[in-house]
Homo-oligomer: A and B are copies of this chain.
Amino acid sequence: MPIITLTSDWGLRDHYLASVKGKILANIQEVNIIDISHQISPFNIEHAAFVIKNCYQDFPEGSIHIIGVNTEESDKDSHVVLYHHNQYFIGTDNGIFSMIFTDQPEKIVELTIPQDTDFFTFSARDRFVKAAVHLANGNPIEELGNPLKNIQTKMLFKPTVEEMLIKGMVIHIDGYENLITNITKDLFDKVGNGKKFAIQLRGVQIRSIAQSYLDVPTGETVAVFASNGHLEIAINQGNAGSLLGIAINDAIRIEFEK
């Protein structure tokens, strides 16, 4: 059964999400519709990109992901379908795809299939669903439009590395108020190479990385590598974000001993 996932900032108290689901089911009977999140902060493509980037690889090959955040088309931002890592992504090329993928997508197609209605504020229902159903029925991506060479690039801040020093930032605060940074375990291992270190984040200093939140007592600050491989600062059973007074984009630095 084909899988279509939905990610959006529609929230859960309006008719938008149900309209899209109804429209899918009216066009294809056997399909598994999975909500990724509809609580993306309004208009926030960084948030949407973070969520999709961190879960799409858990889905089976051939999954079709509709992205309903900032979907409006313009001369600059076209509606596209991508094929990459054996999965399909339907959305608006407003820079979001460059934040989801670190490499160039395998196939990029600019949608030329027409909208279903004369209203242009609900592309997810009126255009993306058609593309998704087309793919879910096993039809080729090429029939949906014209090939494009590149996607728009909107750079995310990458950590900078100086001699024995990594400077990064907080890129996401999750529902527990855990602080997820843009520093990965790979980078940490490469730069640090097993040396002693100190993580600095506002007034907090942490000198070890735990395997689990439970490695520190309840209420204490802990650094772990999160399940997506990113360095995460948390408080065991507490809210690191508000208790440490940290917001998205705040700086974090790791100094290794020479």
- A residues engaging B (CB < 8 A)? 1, 3, 5, 9-23, 25-26, 29-30, 32-43, 47, 50-60, 63, 72-74, 117, 119-122, 125-126, 172, 174-176, 211-214, 224-229, 232, 237, 239
- Within the complex, the shortest CB–CB distance from A217 to chain B, in Å, comes to 12
A58 near B125: Cβ-Cβ < 8 Å: yes
For A5, A33, A212, A229, which residue has the most chain B Cβ atoms within 10 angstroms? A212
B22 near A55: Cβ-Cβ < 8 Å: yes
- Which B residues lie within 8 Å of A16 (CB)? 174
CA distance A191 to B138 in the complex (A): 47
- The 8 Å CB contact of A3, one of B25, B42, B239, is B25
- Within the complex, the shortest CB–CB distance from A31 to chain B, in Å, comes to 9
12 contacts between A and B (CB under 8 A): A11-B174, A12-B38, A13-B40, A13-B41, A13-B51, A22-B34, A22-B57, A22-B58, A22-B59, A26-B59, A119-B224, A119-B226
Tell me what chain A mostly uses at the interface: helix, strand, loop, or mixed: loop
- Which B residues lie within 8 Å of A25 (CB)? 3, 32, 34, 59-60, 63
- Which B residues lie within 8 Å of A55 (CB)? 15, 18-19, 22
A213 near B121: Cβ-Cβ < 8 Å: yes
- Which B residues lie within 8 Å of A176 (CB)? 9, 42
- The 8 Å CB contact of A58, one of B19, B39, B225, B227, is B19
Given contacts A3-B25, A18-B51, A21-B34, 20 further A-B contacts (CB under 8 A): A9-B175, A11-B39, A11-B175, A12-B37, A12-B38, A13-B37, A13-B41, A13-B174, A18-B35, A18-B37, A22-B34, A22-B58, A25-B34, A25-B59, A74-B214, A119-B226, A119-B229, A120-B211, A121-B212, A121-B227
Closest chain B residue to A239, Cβ basis: B42
- Which B residues lie within 8 Å of A212 (CB)? 72-73, 120-121
Closest chain B residue to A124, Cβ basis: B227
- Which B residues lie within 8 Å of A51 (CB)? 13-15, 18
- Which B residues lie within 8 Å of A5 (CB)? 18
- Within the complex, the shortest CB–CB distance from A230 to chain B, in Å, comes to 10
